[in-house]
Structure 1
Amino acid sequence: MSAIRLRLGVIGIEHLHLFEMVDGLLNVGAETVCHAAGDGPLTAMYEGWRPESERRPVDAVLADPSLDLVVLAGVPSERAGMALAALAAGRHVLSAKPAVTTLDDLDALDIVGAGPARWWVFFSERLCNRAVNEAIRLVHAGAIGEVVAVTGAAPHTLAADSRPEWFFDPSRSGGILTDLITHQADQMTALVGHFTPAVMSATVENVATPHHPEFQDLGRVSLRTEIDGRVILSDHHVDWLSPAGLGTWGDVRLVITGTTGTIEVRSNIDVAGESGAEHLILVDADSARRVDCSGVVIDWAERLRTDIELGTDTFVSHVHTVDACRAAIRAQRAAEAFRDR
């Protein structure tokens, strides 16, 4: 039996992650059918790249029964509503992160998305980074014993002049933790499984963006979770402060501490070290060594296509999606409550 050719509809073109999502799906045979988006530089870029995609109103995209998958990359605060509408129309949904910005919307998506008929999932860095994927595989293989602590750092480049107005409004963007910690919460869930952490401390600040006083350019959260009696601590730092001289958008790192070893991932760059990206350093009882990740297969799009075709569950589970989103939103709410008290 030949694989199905996924027919894609896009709603919202407000983030560059859309291009990465669509490109991955095109590589496994998908076709771009239509899109709904306002005018803007990213929409113009998309229409130049995918001229066969017909621009339609949102309702017309949702009403097209030929579509298999709706890809969402609009304003973050609007994504959950669009996802609920797409699921109600019988479509699978792949969303840019953050896929949801409030706990009420997450609860609604948890109910609707938990059914067997349709997928609601979001796209994260983990899916397309070979070193992160290899780190998760090594942890599951027992390379560093039991995971006891995880530290993540994800500085980003602000490039304020290129950002739309909604980006600086936490009520529309979700805030820095809801947005950027989603990546790290997704990694935690992939590493340790069902993940319902307690927020031990959380903070958001504006330290270097005075022209946008409501904007949050720095955020931190400490989490504690217990799985089968085992405590796992995690600390996560995010910011919009990457210096121009770095050479990439952010020096993103992941450090996993186990009972018998450690793993460090340097996702984008090894500052003043080895060239390229996707670096992994493993330390165990035998040695400290770099692990070549160049042969790791990036297959997220193929797994999603197969799940849609066969009704399997190989891409990412609904529980995983909800756990990651809930952890990020709860961290954001805790930080804002502390700041406002």
Structure 2
Amino acid sequence: MTSQQPIRFAAVGLDHAHIFGQISGLLEAGCELVGLATDDPEASVAQQVRALYPDVPVHDNPDELINADGIDVITSAAIPDRRGPIAIAAMKADKDVIVDKPGCISLEQLDEIKQTVADTGRFWSVTFSERFGVKCVTKAGELVRAGKIGKVVQTLGLGPHRIGDRAHLAGGAGRPEWFYEKERYGGILADIASHQIDQFLWFTGSTEGEVVASTVGNFANDDAPGLQDFGEILLRSPEAQGYIRVDWYTPKGLPTWGDGRLMILGTEGYIEMRKYVDIAGRDGGNHLFLVNNDDTSYIDCSDVELTYYSDIVNDVRNRTETAVPQAHTFETMRLALVAQQNATLRGAAK
């Protein structure tokens, strides 16, 4: 591959709306979309992807596209239980992989992915979009690394969601059946909380962590016990502590799908991010508040540059890890899966 040749990628697995961001991110980074394939062509997301990219060839058999020549990267937002197998097949076919979170749904899948990365030399990147795609989080990283709040000792990550959010439903279609089947989506901690685990490790500079305690519950959807609508994790690493709460309780009155917040506590100050909404306050998202010994300030992060996909392109070309270290992705998913596996069950959750 030369630096003048565009990275060629295919999207395999079109079941979650995060695929829109994955495709557009790679296209904006100068990549070329050369194929589409999915297990369920009639899924609402799959139909909209084909409508958005009508000139891209559609393949009936995902395995044939994975094994096709002339493709550098496979990206996927398949049903979560399929993401691990798709990634493994793609790496064995000599392709790098970008997959929606959760990257896999069991420790067994994770072990097989690790072995495949070691055997093939390809990389497996899980798109933790609440960091890679949120400008105020990028800005907070700059502030932390500049020493603006001293040594980070704790993160508090809140990831509320709304079951009926149109943006996640490809224009208003109802949640698919797999959304209510734990064995398919992996559980609320493996899924949503992997975002907050990623941020805990990154902001605290931790290369490993420990799940001190975890809980999942179903308190509002007794008719769908496979849905876990509440989850929490207490984390610890040699460097810091972390607490995570995720849920599916966002009320209809909020103008977006969730009031995602992240708070970073340092020895000399703290940062709070209101990622998607400043309730009863400023318009839009990407709000950052910095408090330290010098000042209390508000920073509008709407103009911050995001680099995940351009870094991915660099990593494909140069076999580097500039987007995210492979070990970090492994540890994030390991912690999420351990928390899910060992969680105390509450309410109607199973």
TM class by shorter-chain length?
A: over 0.9
Residue matched to 2:274: 266
Which of 104, 108, 112 matches 2:112? 108
Residue matched to 2:333: 325
Comparing 3-12 with 329-338, greater Cα deviation is found at 329-338
TM-score, L = length of structure 2: 0.92
Amino acid aligned to 1:128: G
Query: Where does structure 1 lack aligned partners over 5 or more consecutive residues?
Result: none
Query: What's the CA shift for 1:326?
Result: 0.9
Question: Is 1:42–2:26 an aligned residue pair?
Answer: no
Contact 1:194–1:319 (CA under 8 A) maintained in structure 2:
no
Residue matched to 2:210: 198
Q: How does 1:196-275 map to 2 (within 5 A)?
A: 196-227=208-239, 232-275=240-283
Amino acid aligned to 2:81: S
Which of 151, 156, 172 matches 2:184? 172
In the alignment, the residues of structure 2 paired with residue 310 and residue 269 of structure 1 have an alpha-carbon distance, to the nearest angstrom, of 38
Change in CA separation of 1:44 and 1:331 when aligned onto 2, cut-off 3 Å: same
TM-score, L = length of structure 1: 0.94
Contact 2:94–2:120 (CA under 8 A) maintained in structure 1:
no
Contact 1:194–1:323 (CA under 8 A) maintained in structure 2:
no
Residue matched to 1:298: 306
Query: What's the CA shift for 1:30?
Result: 1.5
In the alignment, the residues of structure 2 paired with residue 236 and residue 337 of structure 1 have an alpha-carbon distance, to the nearest angstrom, of 16
Contact 1:188–1:195 (CA under 8 A) maintained in structure 2:
no
Query: What's the CA shift for 1:55?
Result: 1.7
In the alignment, the residues of structure 2 paired with residue 295 and residue 278 of structure 1 have an alpha-carbon distance, to the nearest angstrom, of 9
Q: Deviations over 1:10-46 (max 9, x none)?
A: 1111111100010011112212111111122111101
Which of 154, 157, 162 matches 2:162? 157
Partner SS state of residue 144, structure 1: coil
Query: What's the CA shift for 1:148?
Result: 0.7
Q: How does 1:59-138 map to 2 (within 5 A)?
A: 59-114=63-118, 117-124=121-128, 125-138=130-143
Query: Where does structure 2 lack aligned partners over 5 or more consecutive residues?
Result: 166-172
Amino acid aligned to 1:320: H
Q: Deviations over 1:97-152 (max 9, x none)?
A: 10111111111212222467311101112111110011111111111111111101
Contact 2:154–2:204 (CA under 8 A) maintained in structure 1:
no
Query: What's the CA shift for 1:198?
Result: 2.1
Contact 1:147–1:256 (CA under 8 A) maintained in structure 2:
yes
Contact 1:72–1:95 (CA under 8 A) maintained in structure 2:
yes
Comparing 92-101 with 156-165, greater Cα deviation is found at 156-165
The percent identity for this pair of structures is 35
In the alignment, the residues of structure 1 paired with residue 18 and residue 295 of structure 2 have an alpha-carbon distance, to the nearest angstrom, of 37
| Pairs aligned (count) | 337
Q: RMSD value over aligned CA atoms?
A: 1.8
Change in CA separation of 1:116 and 1:298 when aligned onto 2, cut-off 3 Å: farther
Residue matched to 1:21: 22
Partner SS state of residue 16, structure 2: coil
